Amino acid sequence: MRILRWLAGAIVIGALAGLNFFVFEGPLLVKLINVSLFSALVVLYRVIRGPSPADRVIALDILGVLIIGVLALLGLYYEQGFFMDIALIWALLSFVAALAFAKVLEGRRLDD
C-alpha cells in the first residue's frame, strides 16, 4: 500500500516536471501567480481527502480567500479592472456557502 502511494507521488511529480511546472519563465508576477496556484493545488488535496466533512468545508473556504489574491494579481498583470469585481463576488458567495454548509453540518434546517 505504501509502495503504491510512493508510486502515485512519483507519477504526479514526474508529470508536473514533464509539463515544465517547476521551471518558472516570464515576468515576476507570473511566478507569484504560479506560487498561489500551487497553494490552491495543496488545498484541493485537503478537499478531496479530508477525513471529515468539516475539513472539506474549511478547505473550500480557504480556497475562496486564496482565489481572491490570485485574481488581484491577475488584474495587476493584465491591467484590467474587472478582475476585482469577480473577486468581490467570489468572496461574497464563498462566505454565504460556508455559513450554509456550517448550518447543514450542525444538523439544523436552512430556514432556522
Partner 1 sequence: MIRHMIGMAFIWIGMLFNFLGVLGLLRLPDVYTRLQAATKCVTFGSAGLLFGVFVLKGLTSFGFKVLLAIAFIFLTAPISAHAIARAAHRSRVPLCPESVADLYEADHELKEEGRHASS
Residues that bind partner 1 (CB under 8 A): 28, 32, 35-36, 39, 42-43, 45-46, 52-55, 57-59, 61-62, 65-66, 68-69, 72-73, 75-76, 81, 84-85, 87-88, 91-92, 94-95, 98-99, 101-103, 105-107
CB 111 → partner 1: shortest distance, Å? 16
Q: Which helix (H) or strand (E) holds 13?
A: helix 2-18
Nearer Cβ to partner 1 (6/45): 45
First to last CA, the chain: 45
Q: Which is nearer to partner 1, 30 or 42 (CB)?
A: 42
> Cell 491591467, residue?
79
Handedness of CA 76, 81, 36, 92 (dihedral sign): positive
Least spacing, CB of residue 65 vs partner 1, in Å: 5
The b/e string for 51-70 (b: 16+ C-beta within 10 A; e otherwise) is eeeeebbbbbbbbbebbbeb
Q: Please report how close the Cβ of residue 1 comes to partner 1 at its closest, in angstroms.
A: 20
To partner 1, the closest distance from the beta carbon of 27 in angstroms equals: 12
